[in-house]
Amino acid sequence: MRKTILAALIILAAPLFAVESLESLIARIAGEIDATVGVAALHVESGRRVSLRGDEPFPMGSVNKLPIAIAFLRQVDLGKVSLSREVTIQPAQFASGHSPLRDSARGKAVTLTLNRALDLMLGQSDSTASDLLERLAGVEGVEDTTTPDAMLAVLERFYARKDGLSKSSHDLAMKIMTRTPAGEHRIRAGAPADASVAHKTGTTRGLLNDVGIITSPNGKNHLLLAVFTKGGREATTTQRERTISTITREIYQGLIGTKTKTR
């Protein structure tokens, strides 16, 4: 009887030891780059989590376009705005940051649907589209910083459809984030080659981030993940991206337990 109880306790404790070992591995990987790295992840089906600097503030960059999209789509679901509505953006309204919309307009006014604006913001990180949808969402300003744990909580609510969005709005956001060409060397590069990845990147001077949802090739496992980097004088974009992809791969293998050839 005592052996049976002991064996059961060992089995119950095993995931805890595995998580602690995984967090140590992540910390080691993060320590190899001249930047501060924050990570938070959840394997939905088992409830197992890992976190590194989970409660430390990090600049969001364009990761903030995900909560903006959620806030905007709530207004769509409430019937206050329509995705088919056309709006005209004047040159004076073009954002100074990354904006394919502004670049293609060549100094002229441009007319587009709100559905197109959403696709540009969430899929191509367009700042002009972001400014437009933020105004229409009725938010006075999205926070510039977050913590890995807080961002993971946003992903959890989004994944569980507890963020106030309808099924159609949720599915639209997931579709855009899954087909985005951005950040191919970040979370996407660390996920299995045949997995589905819905994610939002953030990039600016001194930071490089990625947050998203990985669905395993068989559809039975889901990993929610937020990886942020900030600071550091010597870390290159390539090094930061490699760190994010490596951490993603280790967390996927550690929490889901599947070693699959990555992209």
What's the pLDDT score for residue 111?
Answer: 98
Judge if 105 and 229 occupy the same domain. no
* Residue 129: inside a domain: yes
Whether the predicted pLDDT of 249 surpasses 50: yes
150-188 residue pLDDT tens: 999 999 999 999 999 999 999 999 999 999 999 999 999
CATH assignment of the domain containing 179: 3.40.710.10
101-151 residue pLDDT tens: 999 999 999 999 999 999 999 999 999 999 999 999 988 787 799 999 999
2-31 residue pLDDT tens: 444 444 444 444 444 467 799 999 999 999
**Three-state DSSP class for residue 59:** strand
What's the domain range around 100?
Answer: 69-137
For residue 263, what pLDDT band results from cuts at 50, 70 and 90? low
Looking at the structure of the chain, the number of domains it has is 2
Judge if 48 and 150 occupy the same domain. yes
Q: Which residues contact 5 (CB under 8 A, 6 or more apart)?
A: none
**Three-state DSSP class for residue 195:** coil
Rounded-to-integer distance, Cα 141 and Cα 82, Å: 22
Q: What is the pTM of this model?
A: 0.89
